[in-house]
A and B are shown apart, each in its own frame.
Chain A
Amino acid sequence: MSLKREIGFLLNGVETRATVPVDMSALAMLRDVLGLTGTKYACGEGECGACTVLVDGVSVCSCLQFAVDCEGRTVSTIEGVSREPLGAKLEQAFVDCGAVQCGFCTPGMVMQAKHFLEAHPHPTRDEIKRGIEGNLCRCTGYVKIVDAIEAASRGDR
């Protein structure tokens, strides 16, 4: 069996330790070791964005990052997103705008949107579309997701 290592990091504001195989992805650690199943697997190769989390504030595909590379970093997932005002605003905007159908892409979309809005607080619709280009959604046709991110950026509900 593969080599294991114990790592420590700040997960949604909480000091967390986990013992993980060195070849395990951050996505597998979150879901299977830590039980945080909000982050989704849909491709495992960085092509869909369903597994998006923020590492030190930057959006990454957790399926492409090794779990051990979380050592000493700050990791935010959908489970903790409403602890911050922008995250809470985004969550509410997704609900209000009807941006969720099956909901499978939603956690990744929200995390990506949070990262995007932090860097671009007043985006145009086209900029929003570019901002979520790496996140696939098979249900909504993206319109309501763009609506939600736009609404969150305006701060309206």
Chain B
Amino acid sequence: MRGSGGSTPAARALPGVHAVLTAADVPYQRPLGVGKDQLPLKGDKVRSLRDEIAAVAADTEEIAEAALKLIEVDYEDLPPLTDPADALKPGAPVIHGEKLPAPAPHDALKPGEPGDAEAHRHNVAMTFDYAQGDVAVGEAESDVVVDDWFRLHYVTHCCMGVSGVIAEFDRSGNLTLHSNTQVPFLHKREFAEILGMDPGRIRIIQPPIGGGFGSKLDIYPFEPICVFLAKATGRPVKLVFSREEEFIASPTRQPVLLRLRSGAKKDGTLTFRVCETLHDNGAYTSWGATTPFVMMQTISSLYRVPHCKYHTTAVYTNNPYAGSFRGYGNLQATFAVEQQIDELAEKLGIDPLEMRLKNAQDPGEVTPQGMHFKTCGLKECLTTAAEVSQFREKHRAALDARRVPSRYKRGVGMASMLHVGGGAKIYPSDGCGTILKIDDFAHVTLMTGASEIGQGSETVLAQLVCEELGIPMDAVTVVNNDTDITPWDVGVHASRTTFIGGNSAIGAARKAKAKILAAAAKATGVPDAELELRSGHIVRTANGEALTSLAKLLRSLHFSDKAELVMTTHYYEPPSKHQDKSFKGDVSAAYAWATQVVEVEVDTETGVVRLVKVTGAHDVGRVLNRLGIEGQIEGGIVMGQGYAITEDLIVENGVVRNPGFRDYKLVTAPEIPEMDVRFIETMDGEGPQGAKGVGEAPAICIAAATANAICNATGVRIRELPFTPEKVYRALHRAGAAASAAGD
């Protein structure tokens, strides 16, 4: 829509209203996001229904809502561009045809003058190209080739805690933001850019938050808008979304149209993959637009593929904009790759498990994309998941049962996944800092850059420190929520926190331990190599004799002539590398693997698909905290189940049609499958005590494995999500009609 923004005098005059802002009132605002393609407050052109055009700060929500109604807006409707394919057509209206102010330089203290940022001449937001080998050679070597389109839908995070922020300036102009971010340090920098402020004057405090799942990787317009309001009013400003607003104005998973062509030799050896995708970026570019990085890893390296070619186009439309979401493109890529593995296997008459084992990598391999699998439990994941779930028997039984007419059909399907498990070096640094201090009573305060968003990092980090220092869990306090106190970290993403934050915490604890043991050696006359820390004491390793309590030793250090405290710092940077310009490089310090087997029951009369059982085998390096890791995996499986079967954000003509839990169906307790999760411990050399990241892994395979299971049960392959009763019913009946027509 194009128009003149909002007119606000009546709203401003309402008693209890402290500020009413439109774009015209904040000429200093700068673009935000990865593409720097939107201003927090939009002016004469709005590009999607969720766009912000006016903001009110008032004493109460009721007054603010009344004021909103008094704002007059005058926009002329333009035809919406909501199909990504249309957006690419020649002559399509250009969604970002205007210039935006240039991003502010980092050190700007005062609002700068609007500069010129380049305008687009087309609707392409980003493209990605990757190639390894020569796909023509691969295709020539192939005995079978499959070529399909896959369509992946909109889903959204549905964090139980809705989005919100509190912004407040102090009298010296320092800004404090209480924000439910998952990347506080990157946001500190980006807020400075958007606001034209000195980053040193921005403090971000992250209170406990109701889930993240990737949604809080981006700054959203409402956050800087609250800062503008705080500035305009000189008072703290709080904004909290309603659930409806959360559905409308928070990001989605990337909807993708994907074409995959792949081939194999008679013996099952994979020969090549060619993948082309069209991503609906929505109206703006968020971090989610970089999901093709992750997708191409799966296309190039989930199983051994000598030749590969990958291309993504992400286009602007007038739809809601997609963000990053647990798995980051990998659910979409795995959905296609793992279905085609089954298709190739079927064509070749090879068992799906054999087909995968034939192409699975071994530890030590370096893929053509440059990923070095120092540990790799893929084969063990495959065999374990297959054995525990009785995959072969059930798969064969389902094939036999296809001939027998019956309403309910059972089937099994498997899918594996590859994901980064040791951070991901996509920023200049992928590190995490720790400050550790031990007080006179042997109580540790662990100040870590790692954020807690519900994934359990607080527990695991405290646990790692306790194990190093031989102290109980209640002797550790974790401080992890304040950019003025905690050292830098790149944030919660890429399943990296346990790996990177854990190594950083261990590093700080080891330095403290060395210092303590050196002092203990001096005090006791026993060489430090013969001492250790156990149960709050300095203990002689040989016979377990407690020589002195840790607290006592610390006090004697403190209250001595030399007056020393035990305080250490550590910064851990993983030994991974940036990808080069052609996207090659060992981007993670470790890689995580998993195989999941899904057993379904399909009601052929209604199209209802029930997940009966999920068996997972996960290469997690090592289990650090069993309850925590089981919980992550169970939660991920159910999130994957929602993606596969129940969740569907319906976007029609740019409008979200089901912005509530009544019509957007999350999985509830009675619907969860039986779960059997096994851990493959490959003891990664670089991981903290051998562990690798696991946060995203469990959600990745479910949709792909479910597709394979439905096909095993019914003989019908569905390449479009979600598997709603209607879609499954129609697919079964189309197939039935085709079969009987062929039979006639």
User: Cβ of A105: which chain B residues have Cβ within 8 Å of it?
Assistant: 160
**Contact with A98, one of B159, B162, B630, B670 (Cβ below 8 angstroms):** B630
Whether a CB of chain A sits under 8 angstroms from the CB of B460 is: no
Whether a CB of chain B sits under 8 angstroms from the CB of A7 is: no
User: Cβ of A144: which chain B residues have Cβ within 8 Å of it?
Assistant: 627, 630-631, 634
| Interface hub of A47, A50, A98 (most chain B Cβ within 10 A) | A98
The distance in angstroms between the C-alpha atoms of A132 and B159, with both chains bound, is: 18
The distance in angstroms between the C-alpha atoms of A144 and B456, with both chains bound, is: 14
User: Cβ of A43: which chain B residues have Cβ within 8 Å of it?
Assistant: 243, 660-661
The distance in angstroms between the C-alpha atoms of A22 and B334, with both chains bound, is: 53
Whether a CB of chain A sits under 8 angstroms from the CB of B524 is: no
Whether the pair A138, B631 counts as a contact (CB closer than 8 A) is no
Interface of chain B residues 592 through 651 with chain A (CB within 8 A): 627-628, 630-632, 634-639
User: Cβ of B666: which chain A residues have Cβ within 8 Å of it?
Assistant: 136, 138
> Helix, strand, loop or mixed for chain A's interface?
loop
Partner-contacting stretch, out of B134-142, B206-214, B532-540: B206-214
Interface of chain A residues 121 through 148 with chain B (CB within 8 A): 126, 128-130, 132-146
User: Cβ of A133: which chain B residues have Cβ within 8 Å of it?
Assistant: 668-670
The distance in angstroms between the C-alpha atoms of A142 and B637, with both chains bound, is: 11
User: Cβ of A44: which chain B residues have Cβ within 8 Å of it?
Assistant: 242-243
User: Cβ of A104: which chain B residues have Cβ within 8 Å of it?
Assistant: 159-161, 210-211, 454
The distance in angstroms between the C-alpha atoms of A57 and B8, with both chains bound, is: 49
**Contact with A42, one of B161, B455, B662, B670 (Cβ below 8 angstroms):** B161
Whether the pair A98, B627 counts as a contact (CB closer than 8 A) is yes
The distance in angstroms between the C-alpha atoms of A41 and B209, with both chains bound, is: 13
Whether a CB of chain B sits under 8 angstroms from the CB of A118 is: no
Whether a CB of chain A sits under 8 angstroms from the CB of B521 is: no
Whether a CB of chain B sits under 8 angstroms from the CB of A119 is: no
**Contact with A101, one of B158, B162, B631, B668 (Cβ below 8 angstroms):** B631
Residue of A nearest to B247 (CB): A43
- Bitwise, A89-110 to B at CB < 8 A (1) or not (0) is 0000000011001111100000
From known contacts A45-B662, A129-B670, A141-B638, infer whether A102 and B211 are also in contact, taking CB-CB under 8 Å: yes
**Contact with B672, one of A2, A42, A142 (Cβ below 8 angstroms):** A142
Residue of A nearest to B626 (CB): A98
Interface of chain B residues 133 through 180 with chain A (CB within 8 A): 157-162
User: Cβ of B635: which chain A residues have Cβ within 8 Å of it?
Assistant: 101, 137-141
User: Cβ of B41: which chain A residues have Cβ within 8 Å of it?
Assistant: none
The distance in angstroms between the C-alpha atoms of A1 and B213, with both chains bound, is: 39
Whether the pair A132, B669 counts as a contact (CB closer than 8 A) is yes
The distance in angstroms between the C-alpha atoms of A97 and B630, with both chains bound, is: 11
The distance in angstroms between the C-alpha atoms of A139 and B159, with both chains bound, is: 8
Shortest distance from the beta carbon of B645 to any chain A beta carbon, whole Å: 14
Shortest distance from the beta carbon of A75 to any chain B beta carbon, whole Å: 22
User: Cβ of B455: which chain A residues have Cβ within 8 Å of it?
Assistant: 101
- Bitwise, B652-678 to A at CB < 8 A (1) or not (0) is 000000001110001011101001000
Interface of chain A residues 49 through 105 with chain B (CB within 8 A): 50, 97-98, 101-105
From known contacts A45-B662, A144-B631, infer whether A138 and B669 are also in contact, taking CB-CB under 8 Å: no
Residue of B nearest to A139 (CB): B635
**Contact with B675, one of A48, A130, A143, A145 (Cβ below 8 angstroms):** A143
| Interface hub of B160, B208, B242, B662 (most chain A Cβ within 10 A) | B160
From known contacts A101-B456, A140-B634, infer whether A40 and B210 are also in contact, taking CB-CB under 8 Å: yes
The distance in angstroms between the C-alpha atoms of A143 and B635, with both chains bound, is: 8
The distance in angstroms between the C-alpha atoms of A133 and B680, with both chains bound, is: 33
- Bitwise, B535-566 to A at CB < 8 A (1) or not (0) is 00000000000000000000000000000000
Chain B residues proximal to chain A, CB less than 8 Å: 62, 157-162, 208-211, 213, 242-243, 453-456, 627-628, 630-632, 634-639, 660-662, 666, 668-670, 672, 675
- For the complex of A and B, 3 pairs with smallest distance between CB atoms: A102-B454, A98-B627, A104-B210
Query: What are 10 sample pairs from A and B whose C-beta atoms fall under 8 A apart?
Result: A41-B162, A47-B662, A50-B160, A102-B208, A102-B210, A102-B453, A129-B669, A138-B159, A141-B637, A143-B631
